[in-house]
Amino acid sequence: MLLLKWKEKSEWLKERYKKLRTQYFWDERKYVAVLFFGESNPSQVYVNLKKKYAQEIWLDCLIFGQWKVWFEKEYPDLVDVQMKEYINKDEVIELVERLNDDERCVGIICQLPLTEQLKPYQKEICDAITPLKDMDWLWDKLQEWAFEWKIEFLPATAQAVISLWNAYDLWSFEWKIISVIWQSDIVWRPISRYLELKWADVYSFDIRNTPEEIINQTKKSDVIISCTWALHLIDDRFINEEKNQILIDVGYGFLDGKSTGDVDFEKVENKVYAISPVPWWVGPMTVASLFGNIFVIWWQKRKIEELSK
């Protein structure tokens, strides 16, 4: 069985981003803004990873919404908005607009899931982020332009999955049968679209499908990509007996105090050709790809500005 891990590539990207930042982009101090209003433990892990990664490529990372924990004295003019507890949608959108106008801010990340009070307004909040700072590809128009090949852009998690595949030179996607099990269209939609453009035969499943329907198809699939965050959803019932399948686990959470993903690793590890284990791969590389989007947007700034008119 092949373990799909990519720590070396993540380290390479860190060095590349540091050089880009110093040689081509900014001499003065810049920051990335993370909007984090929830209290999800997995989300807290990702926020910590993002803050750490930003520091390693010489960017500041300011967290907004966790006023009891995060505070950056280096930006005294932002203390009022960092120390604020965001409860309603209008307050959040006002914050986003302020960050949009701040030239020191080079990227904005809206950490999902939002609180129950803010969830009904998720689309409105995400669409308030200017496309020139939308690192996570949440703005509807960015998705539309990317799917129409007007810009070259993929959200971070989709990039991580595709980069993993390319790094290990697994196969061509052409005519491969791929099952994508999803909960959020932020991950499912771009991955499925990319695979379809590569002539893969893609089957998508969500909560509306029965376990029997999903299992019937995954057993016939060359690749299974699970991005539900339903811990240990995928076990040996979902795979065939040929030991020729690839499992890519995009889920993350805690079970019995340990970090784990959608795949019940112990039940499938000796029954598949390759697997991406949690927590060693998708999470850290998603963070790396996320920060790479700062530069992808920068390179296409003029094109995005023209499309936004």
The CATH code of the domain that includes 199 is 3.40.50.720
Q: Based on the structure, what is the number of domains in the chain? A: 2
Q: What is the pLDDT of residue 233?
A: 94
SS3 189: helix
Residues 90 and 168 occupy one common structural domain: no
Residues 161 and 228 occupy one common structural domain: yes
Strand 253-255 to strand 258-260: parallel, antiparallel, or no bridges (unpaired)? antiparallel
Residue 150 lies in a domain: no
- Which residues are within 8 A (CB) of 2 and not within 5 positions of it... i.e. 6 or more apart? 168, 273, 274, 275
Residue 36 lies in a domain: yes
Q: What is the pLDDT of residue 69?
A: 55
Strand 60-64 to strand 31-35: parallel, antiparallel, or no bridges (unpaired)? parallel
Q: What is the pLDDT of residue 180?
A: 95
Residues 204 and 164 occupy one common structural domain: yes
Residues 66 and 161 occupy one common structural domain: no
Residue 20 lies in a domain: no
Tell me, what DSSP letter sits at residue 116?
T
Residues 128 and 35 occupy one common structural domain: yes
Residues 209 and 160 occupy one common structural domain: yes
From 70, 101, 133, give the residue that closes a domain.
Answer: 133
Residue 151 lies in a domain: no
Q: How many CB atoms lie within 10 A of CB 152?
A: 11
Is there a contact between 219 and 268 (Cβ–Cβ < 8 Å)? no
Cα 191 to Cα 155: distance, rounded to the nearest angstrom: 9
SS3 128: helix
- Which residues are within 8 A (CB) of 43 and not within 5 positions of it... i.e. 6 or more apart? 36, 111, 112, 113
SS3 61: strand
Range of the domain at 104: 27-133
Residue 288 lies in a domain: no
CB half-sphere exposure, 135, CA atoms < 13 A? 25
Q: What is the pLDDT of residue 210?
A: 94
Residues 127 and 170 occupy one common structural domain: no
Residues 111 and 164 occupy one common structural domain: no
Q: How far is CA 262 from CA 129, 253, 265, in A?
A: 30, 9, 9
Q: What is the pLDDT of residue 3?
A: 65
Dig out the tokens for 263 from the structure.
């795949």
Q: What CATH number corresponds to the domain at position 70? A: 3.40.50.10860
Residue 146 lies in a domain: no
Strand order in the sheet with 31-35: 60-64, 31-35, 105-110
Residues 177 and 276 occupy one common structural domain: yes
Q: What is the pLDDT of residue 32?
A: 94
From 133, 167, 197, give the residue that closes a domain.
Answer: 133
Residue ranges of the chain with per-residue pLDDT less than 70? 1-10, 24-26, 66-72
Residue 92 lies in a domain: yes
Residue carrying the six token digits 């939308």: 134
Residue 51 lies in a domain: yes
pTM above 0.95, yes or no: no
From 133, 168, 200, give the residue that closes a domain.
Answer: 133
C-alpha closest to that of 20 among 308, 302, 301, 291: 291
